[in-house]
Chain A
Amino acid sequence: MMLRLITLLLLPALCLAEPVLNVGSKRFTESYILGEIIAQTVNAAGEARAVHKQGLGNTGIVFAALRSGAIDVYPEYTGTIAFELLGRKTPAGLEEIGRELAPLGLGVAVPLGFDNTYALAMREERAAALGISSISDLSRHADLRPGISQEFLNRKDGWPALQQAYRLPFPAPRGLDHGLAYEALTSGQVDVIDIYTTDAKIGKYHLRALADDRGFFPAYNAVLIYRLDLPQRFPGSWAALQQLQGRISTQRMIALNAEVELSGMSFAAAAGQFLAAPETAPGRAARHDRASFAAMLFGADLGRLTLQHLLLVFASLALSVAAGIPFGIWASRSSRAAYWILASVGVLQTIPSLALLAFLITLMGTIGTAPAIIALFLYALLPIVRNTHSGLVDIAMPLRESAQALGLPAAARLRLIELPLAARSILAGIKTSAVINVGTATIAAFIGAGGYGERIVAGLAVNDNAMLLAGAVPAAALALLIQWAFDALERRVIPEGLR
């Protein structure tokens, strides 16, 4: 079963000998669209087949993917490269950035023509009522609640520096997912959010972008960051990509973002619309009907996503069982070992998933299924180790001693007596891990490993609840199904005398 799954998933890669150019993108609308524009441009050049690994977790993950060679190129912003990736204190021009990236085997090129920098925004009515039009004005309103995206909150050039530059009086702000920040603002849970200057929703949510009156935000010019071997490997594709230089204006980018986020156009369609007529933006964004929830749920990708999800869940579960039960047995043999083993698997559980994924990508030098399975494997260890340990140490002393007194060697006692007596507890641990894995596996989409998380991530990026649910519902259904399957398995595996 597992072997067939793996074969099915690897088949496309094995069959197509055509050279592949891997394009990455980050987990927000603009990056998805630019990734699609790059991929379609490459495909149109006809030299290589572009694979768009879209919606990768965050800057750290997508950059790790680029350095490891899992992707060849992705759209990035000069400010992000200078501050985040190169750790500079000051902004830098394209040439300087290029010199500093060269030792990493990377380069920047093809400025696309627009600047997508950060801005702070408030609801228009509220800003008007309070008389706030610039960021400086905020310093007079210490009672306002900022809701800042996790990424901006943690960047060197982000919130901490901004707060210092403007002497903003706010306490530590709430970290929000960028896609959810608008809802939080509209429902009045927060008063100030960070936005991008090409944000499609400025009009829809009646936002006032506050003036950067002290010139804090540096330029975030959109460029391509790529592996230096790309132009040699695919000169034709590279030449085609050069044609994108300076072709996307800020207004055009806002319009493209709005097509996707507000009018329901797909990323690919928006990219296609741009490539068909790069010079002329359509006057008004036409209303595209979003696919219905049912159509999205049973979309053409359902089978592929299900297979990917099952592979992630069961491959990692198999590893967890193979490692977790021996560790649980070891822990049951010595309270000293138990202390260290249970503490270690417990600590693993507390590592944030994105941090773990970013670490594994660097360690393994690749994105996709392999690091995702390792991460899920680590998360699934705790219930299995703990239940194996407790199942074994909870065996009544008279039974343990009876087995010893019979003259059975330790290995035989374990196999014939102790493991069967602990079977119920061990199986319950495996079931817990399997069900939790179904949920956790949705994060695999952050690193391009597919599964139902792909829909959830994309749904979050464009604030499309139907798409989000089209990923969440099958994941929940799968969790229930696995729960039932284990209940059935329990009736077969648990010895009759223990039921």
Chain B
Amino acid sequence: MIALENVSKTYGVHAALWPTTLEIEQGRTTVLIGPSGCGKSTLLRMIVGLIHSDSGRVVIGDEVLHPDNIERLRHGIGYVIQEGGLFPHLTAGRNVALLARFLKHGEDWIAGRMTALANLVRIPVELLQRFPRDLSGGQRQRIGLMRALMLDPPVLLLDEPLGALDPITRYGLQDELKAIFGALGKTVVLVTHDMNEAAFFGDTIVMMREGRIVQRGRLDDLLHRPAEEYVRDFIRAQRTTLPTP
């Protein structure tokens, strides 16, 4: 269970996040959605301790996030950003195995785990020899996912994971990601500004605006029982004018 209790963040006079409380459902997918600067990434990054809250606390499992336990808790969280955030000086395979090697897992275990993950994200094993610059955007994203899943963490955080991909790659990866989330039963928090993506992934959707949570609920709640006019506007703004073939 992940809980953000009364967390907030202010830069100078600008409030990136007003005091906010949010519980993340275990084993389900929660989507944080809103326009740029609404605080959704700030909230996600607080969970993995990249941003320190000015107030309140972050609870992961039964522990309060703290400098003393942060590295151990991070080992239980997979974090994926746009383009995967791969280290350019390491091959794809070394990126994936980096943390496992540092934690002294056996090479046999690492090799077995990498093969299984390559199958899961549908990456040919040969590609693991390549450097990130020699991979396509979609491949980098899959490698980034492998790296996040290497130690089989119970929690997976994704910050606009499909944002930089072309529409076809994105479409295909959406299907695959959803299948992976369903199969692994992880607690997933995904940040996006795309309502279709939120509707596709989200068991729970948390809509944000200007550093506050506007509404938290199922897709159905947002569509039919919007908390305020803004929710209706945001959903309407993402209409499609194309007929579905």
Contact = CB atoms under 8 A, between A and B. Distances in A.
Interface string B86-129: 11111100000011001000000000000000000000000000
Nearest to B157: A405
A171 interface: no
Contact of B99 (A406, A496, A497): A406
Contacts of A401: 45, 50, 81, 85
A495 B89 contact: yes
Contact of A404 (B50, B87, B90, B98): B50
B72 A407 contact: yes
B88 A406 contact: no
A398 interface: yes
Contacts of B133: 497
B142 interface: no
A173 interface: no
Interface in A274-301: none
Nearest to B151: A407
Interface string B55-77: 00000000000000011111101
A14 interface: no
Interface in A368-417: 398-399, 401-409, 412, 416-417
B77 A405 contact: yes
Interface string A414-427: 00110011010000
A421 B71 contact: no
A461 B86 CA distance: 60
Interface residues of A, number: 21
A398 B102 contact: no
Contacts of B201: none
A497 B81 CA distance: 20
A498 B90 CA distance: 9
Contacts of A412: 102
A403 B132 CA distance: 16
B102 A416 contact: yes
B102 A417 contact: no
Nearest to B75: A407
A423 B73 CA distance: 30
A399 B77 contact: no
Contacts of A402: 79, 81, 85-87
B181 interface: no
Contact of B89 (A404, A405, A406, A497): A497
A417 B131 CA distance: 15
A408 B87 contact: no
B48 interface: yes
A406 B98 contact: yes
Given A402-B81, A417-B87, A497-B131, A409 B71 contact: yes
B81 A496 contact: no
B123 to A, nearest CB: 17
A497 B49 CA distance: 29
A398 B86 CA distance: 9
Contacts, number: 65
Contacts of A420: 89
A405 B87 contact: no
Given A408-B102, A416-B102, A497-B131, A403 B71 contact: no
B85 A398 contact: yes
A420 B164 CA distance: 26
Nearest to A495: B89
A405 B90 CA distance: 17
Given A416-B98, A416-B102, A405 B74 contact: yes
A169 B43 CA distance: 76
A399 to B, nearest CB: 6
A491 to B, nearest CB: 14
Contact of B91 (A399, A417, A421, A497): A497
A497 B132 CA distance: 8
Interface centre among A398, A403, A406, A495 (most CB of B within 10 A): A406
A421 B72 contact: no
B131 A421 contact: no
Nearest to A409: B71
Contacts of A405: 48, 50, 74, 77, 79
Nearest to A498: B89
B89 A421 contact: yes
Contacts of B77: 405, 407
A496 B131 contact: yes
Contacts of B89: 420-421, 423, 495-498
A407 B147 CA distance: 12
A409 to B, nearest CB: 6
Contacts of A417: 87
Contacts of A409: 71
A407 B74 contact: yes
Contacts of A496: 89, 131
30 contacts: A399-B85, A399-B88, A401-B81, A401-B85, A402-B86, A403-B87, A404-B74, A405-B48, A405-B50, A405-B74, A406-B79, A407-B71, A407-B73, A407-B74, A407-B99, A408-B71, A408-B99, A412-B102, A416-B98, A416-B102, A420-B89, A421-B87, A423-B89, A495-B89, A495-B90, A496-B89, A496-B131, A497-B91, A497-B132, A498-B88
Given A402-B87, A496-B89, 15 more contacts: A401-B50, A401-B81, A402-B85, A405-B50, A405-B79, A406-B74, A406-B98, A406-B147, A407-B74, A407-B75, A412-B102, A420-B89, A423-B89, A497-B88, A497-B89
Interface of B: 45, 48-50, 70-75, 77, 79, 81-83, 85-91, 98-99, 102, 131-133, 147
